[in-house]
Amino acid sequence: MELSEDILPIDVWDRIFESLNLPELHRLSVTSRAFYVAVRNHLNLRFRLLLKEYVSDVSEFRCLMWNSEVVISGSRALQFVMPTPSPAWTIQPADLDLYAPLDQEDEILAQLLDEEGYRLDRWLDNLSIPPFPNKIHDEHTMYNMSQDIARIITVSHPKRQKSIDIIVSDSSSPLTAIFAFHSTPVMNWISAYSVTVAYPLMTFNGRGLISALNFAGSATVLSHRVQYALLKYRDGRHFTFATDPSEWEGVHACGTRHNCLQTIRHSNDVGTAFMTFSPRRRMPKDTSRRARRRDVKVGAIWRLGGSLCALGNDSNRQYGKGMQPFRVAVSDLTRRW
Ligand SMILES: [Zn+2]
């Protein structure tokens, strides 16, 4: 069964799908088998078109993403789940940010350099990087280099005028670095066959929480790099930010709401938005033991931490007095849930 062309021509359906964000597509996909298939096909196309901007051999690149558990995150991932924001963004994303597990970047990097015509621009190992106290215009100040990232490799394509950052995590999960981002609107990732939004209720309402990690240690004000990033999302992408969700969630017992920074979350919980976009049978055959263990989803368990939320918890308003953040991003574990 296919979407009926008696109602609308198929290309009109496609145009409609193009404008829908992830929750809207999900709602549509559960209305009928035909919409379920059509939405998955559309997401698959949307993913291929995204990769097509950067590489010529999309299928091979996707296989390498699958084999290496590399995911796409950052502003391109946000744009993927929210293609037609209203009002429209005034700052468009340009670069592609790939996140790789520790020491799993070699195949992707070789493909980009040897087959796709990219050139190596920069290779930053964590230990070699000085802190960025007030240097706000370097794009790499967007990343928290201190604890979650082993290295950042930047490649660019002169003809395509495209640049790709490969951000290599310091753990066996590519997601460790993603939960160290400045705020929740960018805590989204696209794997080879699925997409996950960690805080959809806030993100799709143009809201975001500033991660408590920004106030780690003795810091009481946001660093320049975080201010710069947040301003980009506030002024260029119309997000409203808060340091806790009380204003939107009301009085609550911390740790009980999906949007509360104290809550232990996992990527299979109902607080995330998750969709696959290719049937499992189409996944590449890989006979290695490690590959057989893999599932469609790169998973994580996390708690962003910080202080307890303000409403109902006045005595704990100050940052640093609450629970410490932790991020356990373990693909294999979440798969068994
Ligand atoms: Zn709370």
Domain regions of the chain by residue span: 53-335
Q: What is the 325 CA–ligand 1 centroid distance (Å)?
A: 13
Here the tokens at position 311 are: 């409403």
How far does the centroid of ligand 1 lie from the alpha carbon of residue 118, in Å? 45
Per-residue confidence (pLDDT) for residue 49, from 0 to 100: 95
Structure tokens at 300: 């994580």
C-alpha 254 to ligand 1 mean position (Å): 3
- The pTM of the full predicted model, rounded to 2 decimals, is 0.83
| Gap from CA of 296 to ligand 1 centroid (Å) | 31
Whether 78 and 188 have beta carbons less than 8 Å apart is answered as yes
Q: What is the mean pLDDT of each run of 10 residues along the chain (337 residues)?
A: 67 88 94 89 94 96 92 96 93 91 94 97 72 42 60 94 93 85 92 93 94 63 78 92 86 88 89 81 49 55 82 46 44 31
104 CA to centre of own chain: 18
How many angstroms is it from 243 CA to the middle of ligand 1?
10
Q: What is the DSSP letter of 142?
A: G
CB-count burial class (<10 Å; 0-12, 13-18, 19+) for 139: middle
Q: What is the H or E stretch that residue 226 is in?
A: helix 224-231
CA–CA separation, 217 and 319 (whole Å) = 10
205 C-alpha to ligand 1 centroid (Å): 18
Q: Give strand pairing partners of 297.
A: none
Question: How confident is the model at residue 307, as a pLDDT?
Answer: 77
Q: How far, in Å, is the centroid of ligand 1 from the Cα of 249?
A: 8
